[in-house]
Amino acid sequence: MAGTILRGALAGLSGGLAMLTLMLLLRSVAGVPTTAELLGDRVAALIPYDTFLWLLGAFGGYNSFKQIGIGSALAGQLGLAVVGGIALSVLSRREMAGTDTAPLWGIGRRTVLTVAALTTAAWLVVVVALFPNLDTHYFGLAPGVATIVTIVSLAVLLAVFAAVTVFVFRLLAPAPVSGDEAGVSVVVNPGRRRLFIGGAGAVLAASSGGMLVRLYDRATFSYDGMQYIGPNLEPITPNERFYTVTKNVVDPRVNRALWALEVNGLVDRPQTYDLGRIEAMSSTEQETTLMCISNPIGWGLISNAVWTGVPMRVLLEEAGARDDAVEVVLHGADGYSDTFSFEKAMEPTTLVAYRMNGEELPQRHGFPARIIVPGLYGEKNVKWVTRIEVVDHDAKGFYESQGWGPDFTVPNRSRIDGPSLRDPIRAGAPIALHGMAFAGNRGVRAVEVSTDDQRTWEPAEITYEGTALTWSFWKYDWQPEQAAEYEIAVRMVDGDGMVQTSEERGTAPSGATGYHIVTATVVA
Ligand SMILES: Nc1nc2c(c(=O)[nH]1)N[C@H]1C(S)=C(S)[C@@H](COP(=O)(O)O)O[C@H]1N2
Ligand SMILES: [Mo]
């Protein structure tokens, strides 16, 4: 029995390694999603946000959470492969002991059929379970085509798994085999066969290891969560310093020639755009600030850029969106999706943007095109967009399905950026306090500073006004006369006359509110 199990385990492991190698190859050279990524995205969308945040904390942050998730999914897949191999071995042994029908490739006939049926069933289960995410294609194929490519790839991967497992199982037959009824002739001694299997296994393990390392080098771990904060903030954030947030372990690397943007759903004339067609349309340049919903008070998951693009409304009109349209669902090449109201989609400032500060969109900010939707949190600004789907109901995007929201309107926000108040200040010395204020798409009308525990508020000077869609920068000249500890707070008034709320609210589920407060120590 031990021999049966070992033989099956080795066969299953070989099949699993072959499948893993091919899967990583398809991911690297063809942009096909791995099962680990698909499973991760599928599961992440089902986890309630509080559990999700707890998990992030327990695993030491988003980055290690992603690594552990992907690592265990890959290991789990290999484990299942080994279990499959053992099942094959045990079934075949039982069958061969109990019948005298001629075996097929040295395996019981019924076992061969069972393997084929189980492999097909596994494929169906995977396709059904992961269906919402199968439109992922990291090189940017439009979702319809991408879904077919993923389904076919999964079939090929499982077929390779089954074929290699059966092949190795046969090679590991206890007695030397010399030809058989299927006409396949294998006349090698067991020692040589074992050497061959060991060698092939080592090559597979080494190549999948190598590809994992290459993908790891391209992973988002080094830049996911990058803030734009600290000294030297410019009103327009340089592209390479723009804050970055992504759900991905390895971001899309969209191929311009493969990429297409579909506009479909509740439309009379579904459209497919390539980049050239979009670039040929008349474009809008628009300065817009983005901020992540999970940007705590005082943090820097916020940046500002000049975006060039086509109003989404133009595309929706070209496609003939129907009257019963309620929302648009925006799909990204990474399988991400998010939604907003059809009304919002028709606002002239909602763009499909393809340039950032005059350059083509950087890869990590959504090359070749992303959504820009002023007034809503960053997550609604879908990157690597491949599909605009018009729907007649309230659909939920990636984070909304975790329970974030329901309101994704950016509330009034302000921040003190400097000077650094860590060192004591001399009484009587002038200090130029400065910082940022942001009100989504409502504009910043005024900024006020308090240096006395919020008893009195004084107007700050706006040093960069921006537009209704951007942040503003402010400055406040302060000269503390007495040695003491001072609590400095900032608040702002938006274009509608609404004063920023002092109510302290955490980031989940609708984004943080409250004042940014810093303490300054003034000495004689
Ligand atoms: N396709 C896709 N779009 C996406 C995301 C993503 O993971 N995938 N993340 C969203 C989130 S949560 C934010 S805050 C913004 C960040 O955009 P940036 O990285 O260009 O600053 O992108 C949004 N768009
Ligand atoms: Mo975000």
CA 53 – CA 422 distance, rounded (Å): 30
3 state SS of 501: coil
**299-323: average pLDDT:** 98
Give the model's pLDDT for residue 185.
47
- Contact of 400 with 339, CB cutoff 8 Å: yes
pLDDT, residue 100, reads: 73
Q: Supply the pLDDT for residue 176.
A: 52
pLDDT at 182 over 80: no
Q: Are 236 and 304 in contact (CB under 8 A)?
A: yes
Written as six digits, the tokens of 76 are 């789990």
Indicate the range of 173-177, 217-221, 252-256, 418-422 predicted with least confidence.
Answer: 173-177
Longest CA span, the chain:
102
pLDDT at site 179: 47
Please give the Cα distance from 495 to 439 (Å, whole number): 8
Higher pLDDT, 195 or 311: 311
Is a pLDDT exceeding 80 seen at residue 177? no
Mean pLDDT, the chain, integer:
94
Classified as helix, coil or strand, 334 is coil
3-class SS of residue 469: coil
- 178 pLDDT exceeds 60? no
What's the gap in Å between 381 CA and the centre of ligand 1? 6
Q: DSSP state, 499?
A: B
The strand pair at 370-372 and 271-273 is best described as unpaired
Q: What is the pLDDT of residue 192?
A: 84
**CB distance 242 to ligand 1 below 6 Å:** yes
Residues 401-416 have a mean pLDDT of: 96
Q: Is the CB of 379 under 6 A from ligand 1?
A: yes
Q: What integer pLDDT is reported at residue 235 of this predicted model?
A: 98
Confidence check: pLDDT of 198 > 60? yes
The alpha carbon of 231 and the centre of ligand 1 are apart by a number of angstroms equal to 25
Give the Å distance between the CA of 366 and the centre of ligand 2.
Answer: 14
Domains along the chain with CATH numbers: 2-217 (no CATH), 253-402 (3.90.420.10), 413-523 (2.60.40.650)
Give the residue-averaged pLDDT of 279-296.
98
Ligand 1 atom 19, closest CA: 244
- At 181, the pLDDT band (50, 70, 90 cuts) reads very low
For ligand 1, whether the C-beta of 254 sits within 6 Å is no
Q: Is 386 near ligand 1, meaning CB less than 6 Å away?
A: no
pLDDT tens string 78-92: 999 999 999 999 999
143-152: long-range contacts, CB 8 A cutoff, minimum separation 24: 143/262, 143/331, 143/386, 143/387, 144/262, 146/333, 146/386, 149/32, 150/32, 150/33, 150/38, 151/127
Band (pLDDT 50/70/90 cuts) for residue 62 is confident
Query: What is the pTM assigned to this prediction?
Result: 0.94
Query: pLDDT at position 295, please?
Result: 98
Q: What percent of the chain has pLDDT over 90?
A: 85
Mutating to test ligand 1, I would choose from 379, 398, 410, 438 the residue with most ligand atoms within 8 A of its C-beta, which is: 379
The rounded distance, in Å, linking the Cα atoms of 177 and 192 is 13
Question: Residue 254 CA: which ligand is closest?
Answer: 1
Pocket test for ligand 1, best of 247, 383, 399, 410 (most atoms within 8 A of CB): 383
Inter-residue contact 274 to 259 (CB < 8 Å): yes
Q: Decide if pLDDT at 180 tops 90.
A: no
Q: Are 13 and 78 in contact (CB under 8 A)?
A: yes
Q: Is the pLDDT of residue 163 over 60?
A: yes
Inform me whether the pLDDT recorded for 184 exceeds 90.
no
